[in-house]
Structure 1
């Protein structure tokens, strides 16, 4: 049984969360260890069932990387010192180890995500007549996107591994929250008005979201 216990200063009660990486038990910062142990013991059957149900995510081969729904070759070259994407191929120095490659890969994805989201959001902003206060690219475990009450929209960098139409849906979803800060019928009607293939995108994320991993999982 493997559960990651995370203490939060503002959390008032203990709760389990299932993420692509496993199970987390998020607890108040001062909760006694004996109480934590009791919670884990009382829920051991539930935990084992959830762990068994988690889909297996195979580690990506060292010679390929994902980008916008495609498996892209990674070529190691001599006499270069940077990571780049050229002609549908990733390139990196032949001296780099896995840690260097993954760090550069994530930096590349973050830059591309911000560029893509910023450009795509212009269409939705013109249609809806609203504008985000700030666009942030994150690396969340359990959320694909979020919209704060102040108008800051966060998009998960891992979506750059998915087909672009899936990322388009998440962008539309979060921009619709600038009008409806809930998931009411009015909200979903607004999403459908700017992105008609909601069911296709959500089904894809449900079936394949766990495979969108920047770092190796085993």
Structure 2
């Protein structure tokens, strides 16, 4: 199947205020049984999953059939937040100014309420993202330890990823994984997600016993879940 990874297409029939233009990411997948669509908030694109023997024509047919849904979902995405000099980034729910100092040394570091990025400006976005990933790992590891100790559990390891559908996960072997983007959320939101996944080390389900463990570890579950529902999509649009 000779398909580009992605392309820009125009879907006809857009309503007022919609250009009909959208980015399509083609995803041939051996395990897929039918053509399907999903929205990738991080890229602001629609992903077309194609099973074996299905080509671009089948994907375009589904796109045209569901064009209103696709365009509405894309239009509802939070605005993209580029990582640029003079831009703003959240850390623990607090805003920090991105300040570029080309001649300075240190890579990336906090200076009061500024995140200072040094060196070649071409590397600024990557260095901001690398800083946030490292900070996420540090803060998450600091939370995992005490929560796991309270339950008498030991995680196999901690992975920091850039997921689009789940903020965290716990593998059957005890490996915990988290989205680095959580570092931008308030500390109590991050604490809830960490506690949620640590509780899975004892209960690999969402039973009443599991939720009792979560409540034991973090009493602010309800407000944290509400925050993620309201503001989580914005985190996916950063960078």
| Aligned partners of 2:95 and 2:113 also within 8 Å | no
What is the CA–CA distance in structure 2 between the aligned matches of 1:57 and 1:214, rounded to whole Å? 5
For structure 2, which runs of at least 5 residues remain unmatched after alignment? 1-19
Q: Which residue of 1 aligns with 2:96?
A: 72
Match of 1:9 in 2: 30
- 1:47/1:213 CA distance change after superposition, 3 Å: closer
* 1:20 corresponds to: 41
CA–CA distance in structure 2, aligned partners of residues 79 and 49 of structure 1: 45
1:119 to 130, 142, 147: 142
Q: TM-score, normalised by structure 2?
A: 0.79
**Is residue 90 from structure 1 mapped to residue 115 from structure 2 by the alignment?**
yes
User: Structure 2 CA distance, aligned partners of 1:77 and 1:102?
Assistant: 14
Provide the secondary structure at the position in 2 that maps to 1:107: helix
Distance 1:15 1:190, change over 3 A: farther
CA distance in structure 2 between the aligned counterparts of 1:116 and 1:73, rounded to whole angstroms: 20
| Aligned-pair CA distance for 1:158 | 0.6
In 1, are the aligned partners of 2:157 and 2:174 still within 8 Å (CA)?
Answer: yes
Q: Pairwise mapping of residues 206-217 of structure 1 onto structure 2 (< 5 A)?
A: 206-213=229-236, 215-216=238-239
Q: Does 1:140 align with 2:163?
A: yes
Distance (Å, rounded) in 2 between the aligned partners of 1:136 and 1:106: 16
- Assess, with a 3 A threshold, how the Cα gap between structure 1 residues 162 and 17 changes in structure 2: closer, same or farther: same
Distance of 2:231 and 2:238 partners within structure 1? 16
Q: How many pairs align?
A: 214
Distance across 1 between alignment mates of 2:26 and 2:89: 31
Give the 3-state SS of the residue equivalent to 2:230 in structure 1: helix
Moved more, 159-168 or 9-18: 9-18
Q: What are the ranges of 5 or more consecutive residues in structure 1 without an aligned counterpart?
A: none
CA distance in 2 between partners of 1:150 and 1:27 (Å): 31
C-alpha RMSD of the superposition: 2.3
